[in-house]
Amino acid sequence: MTATLAPTPEDVVQHRTVTVVSRKAPIALGVVTALFALLLLLAARAGDATFRLASEGDLVALPDVTVPGTATAWVCVALGAAGTAVAALLVARGRRVPLWLSLVLAVVLLFGFLAWAAAGSAGDIPVTRLVGGSVLLAVPIVFGALGGVVGERAGVVNIAIEGQLLAGAFCAAVAGTVTGSPWAGLLAAVVAGVLVSLVLGVFAITYRVNQVIVGVVLNVLVIGLTSFLYSQVLVPNAETLNATTRFSRIAIPLLADIPVVGPALFNQSVVVYLMYLAVPAIWFALARTRWGLRLRAVGEHPKAADTVGIKVGRTRYLALVVAGAIAGVGGAFYTVVSVSSFGKEMTAGAGFIALAAVIFGKWDPVRAALAALLFGFASNLEGALSIVGAPVPSQFMLMLPYVVTIFAVAGLVGRSRAPAASGQPYVKE
């Protein structure tokens, strides 16, 4: 601000380097490690934990890995404490805690937790299924989050992800059943997602209605429409309108034979492979193409973009169409990959989780996809733990991912910054 004033002799220009260091990472790591140690003290378990690495049809069957449960868990606690100490040391020296350190410690603590939970159990932890199930559960969340990222980077907050997923699932079910082809279902889902996006665009861009309002209301509208049509039309005609043929699994040669992760990641349906392609594609489109640059410009500073001749409204509409198409694919997952019929409100809040993943991933496609994978893993964990008969009530297992997310958001991610013009309608002067 002082730059506009005339410089006076009294003004002394000072150069100081200020490093902002957050103490949150070591605190969060410390709290989680301490809680885990407390758990081990309060509920000690004897016996060995078995991790099953092999799955049916492996070329090279890996042996099961058996570790002493409690001892392993304590080793992990020690590692966690050491990591926390390193983080604290880094902070004390005025340096940032690298993200990889937090991630590695999270994996270590998770391993320790699994070892503790499976200790002394007759069942073993199926690692392959844990990974594969996580990816599957994450698919709609990843697509939803990607759609959310594209919309928000262009300056349109998309709370209607849930609605796009649900509309996609509904249309995929009907179109897939009528035509008998899952591809038609996928296409219909894309159209449905785009339609929801266009309604959002008409209200948010053309009529400049508050985008949060439109998003929330669109969710309710889609829930109402699909549930109404489901009860009124699909239920009486279940065979002719609501019984899709699902995509079959396709094993990718060589890759599918990699032990542990191969069958989990590379023996999936087309939609899952689309997800593998979509994440880098969206990243590339946003970060390395002219379209992405313009889109981000419109999201950060629409006036500046307008000044250099970028059509703000058109760019935002186009971004919404792309976002809707992506989210629609995520919706198709429910009815042409996961199960073969539509059910009332079957997305069950995945759109809101995707919204959380967008913010968790700081509006970056790759990070958002990783956050979505985390949520997928978390919701899959309970199934794995019920196999080994974990000593903790199942409700707490189910709760755990959400608690961890809060810790992560508060401790590791911190203040997230949205695109500057996100949510603001642009009025040309």
Partner 1 sequence: MSEPTRAAAPAGAAPAPATDTGGTDGGAATPPGDRRWHEAFARIVSGGWAVSLGAVVLAILAGSVMIAFTDEAVQESAGYFFARPADTFAAIGQAVGGAYAALFRGAVWNYEADSFAAAVRPLTQSLTYATPLIAAGLGVAVAFRAGMFNIGGQGQLLVSAAAAGWVGFAFDLPVGLHLVVAVVVGILAGALWAGIAGLLKAATGAHEVIVTIMLNYIAFYLLSYLLATPGLLQAPGSANPKTPAMAETAVMPGLLGDRYNLHVGFLLVLGAVVLVWWLLNRSSLGFGFRALGENAHAARVAGIDVRRTTVLAMGVAGALVGLAGTTQVLGLITTGFGADIDAGVGFDAITVALLGGSSPVGVLLAGILFGAFKAGGSSMQALEGVPIEIVLVVQSLIVLFIAAPPLVRAVFRLPQPGGRARRRPGRGATGTPTSQEVAA
Q: Which residues of this protein are in contact with partner 1, per CB under 8 A? A: 24, 152, 157, 203, 207-214, 216-218, 220-221, 223-225, 227-229, 231-233, 352-353, 355-356, 359-360, 393, 395-396, 398-399, 402-403, 405-406, 409-411, 413-418, 420-425, 427
Q: CB-wise, 231 or 386, nearer to partner 1?
A: 231
Q: Where are the alpha helices (DSSP H) in 202-289?
A: 211-229, 238-241, 261-266, 270-288
**CA–CA dist 169, 135 (Å, integer):** 18
Q: At closest approach, how far in Å is the CB of 171 from partner 1?
A: 16
Cβ closest to partner 1, residue 195 vs residue 271: 195
We find the least distance from the C-beta atom of residue 30 to partner 1, in angstroms, to be 15
Rounded Cα distance between 90 and 82, Å, is 12
Q: How far is the CB of 222 from partner 1 (least distance, A)?
A: 9
Nearer to partner 1, 180 or 349 (CB): 349
Exposed / middle / buried, residue 7 (Cβ in 10 Å: 0-12, 13-18, 19+): exposed
Residues with Cβ within 8 Å of 368's Cβ and at least 6 positions away in sequence, in order, are: 142, 145, 146, 148, 149, 357, 358, 360, 361, 362
Residue 67 vs residues 111, 114, 121, 124, 386: alpha-carbon distances, Å: 11, 11, 12, 11, 19
| Tokens, residue 420 | 């500057």
Q: 158 near 323, Cβ under 8 Å?
A: yes
| 48-52: strand order across its sheet | 65-68, 48-52, 125-126
Closest approach of partner 1 to the CB of residue 211, in Å: 4
Closest contact distance (angstroms) between CB of 158 and partner 1 is: 10
User: What is the closest distance, in whole angstroms, from the C-beta atom of residue 209 to partner 1 in the complex?
Assistant: 4
